[in-house]
Amino acid sequence: MIYLIATLKIKPGSKETLKKLVAPCIEGTRKEPGNISYDLFESMTDENTLTFVERWETQEAVDNHFTEPHFLAWREAASEYFLDRKIEIITPQNVEEK
């Protein structure tokens, strides 16, 4: 199993807009082959931080996710609201930061 943790720092006041923009991506991703779970969390200590916690069966499923139309649409629509992002990919063998 592969965990992907994506932490997004967002522009102040954009959280509700982003939650609306991401809803179709969440719905589509949960239907993708190889997806175990795909959840978005709001920080309890920083209102301008959102975190995706994803579980995938294989690296191939993760790679395919990044080419899905619903993911590409989300990334394009939301990118203007991102200040920073950190992605951690956790496998049984390794922890990788991007």
At residue 96, the pLDDT reads: 67
* pLDDT above 90: residue 65: yes
Instruction: Let me know: does 52 contact 5? Beta carbons within 8 Å.
Output: yes
| Domain annotation for the chain: domains and CATH numbers | 2-92 (3.30.70.100)
Residue-by-residue DSSP string for 35-82: EEEEEEEE-SS-TTEEEEEEEES-HHHHHHHTT-HHHHHHHHHHGGGE
Rounded to 10°, the helix 69-78/15-29 angle is 170
pLDDT per residue as tens digits for the range 67-90: 999 999 999 999 999 999 999 999
Q: How confident is the model at residue 92 (pLDDT cuts 50, 70, 90)?
A: confident
